[in-house]
Amino acid sequence: AQSVAQPEDQVNVAEGNPLTVKCTYSVSGNPYLFWYVQYPNRGLQFLLKYITGDNLVKGSYGFEAEFNKSQTSFHLKKPSALVSDSALYFCAVRDNTNAGKSTFGDGTTLTVKP
């Protein structure tokens, strides 16, 4: 079985400050981890993924995420938040032995205030 937890329903940050959106996971095999973003009235868009290699992965719009195997975490980060980053963020996990099925977290609403 696989699962994802996003412990924060809401994250509020001021524009220009660093942001972190947290994600922890559980899988039986090796994890493949993804972040997606959903802007208001728009579909989900892929941001970045961890498959193997460097624990720090970089993605779209200046976002990055750090894979931590010992803590089973994959937190999304950005050094300097923009108001336009305000959106709903989803973490997802796949087990490398279960290609088809992704498990998504419940989502975290990020609000960046000017």
Partner 1 sequence: GAGVSQSPSNKVTEKGKDVELRCDPISGHTALYWYRQSLGQGLEFLIYFQGNSAPDKSGLPSDRFSAERTGGSVSTLTIQRTQQEDSAVYLCASSLSPAASYEQYFGPGTRLTVT
Chain contacts with partner 1 (rule: CB under 8 A): 32, 34, 36, 42-46, 49, 51, 90, 92, 94-96, 98-107
Identify which of residues 68 and 106 has a Cβ nearer to partner 1 in the complex.
106
CB of 40 to partner 1, least distance (A): 12
Identify which of residues 30 and 84 has a Cβ nearer to partner 1 in the complex.
30
What whole-number distance in Å separates Cα of residue 90 and Cα of residue 102?
A: 12
Strands (E) in the chain, as ranges, are 3-5, 10-14, 19-21, 24-26, 31-38, 44-50, 56-58, 64-68, 73-78, 87-95, 103-104, 108-113
Identify which of residues 78 and 94 has a Cβ nearer to partner 1 in the complex.
94
CB of 111 to partner 1, least distance (A): 15
CB of 17 to partner 1, least distance (A): 26
Q: Which of 17, 23, 14 is nearest to 47 (CA)?
A: 23
Displacement of CA 11 from its chain's centroid (Å) = 13
CB of 85 to partner 1, least distance (A): 19
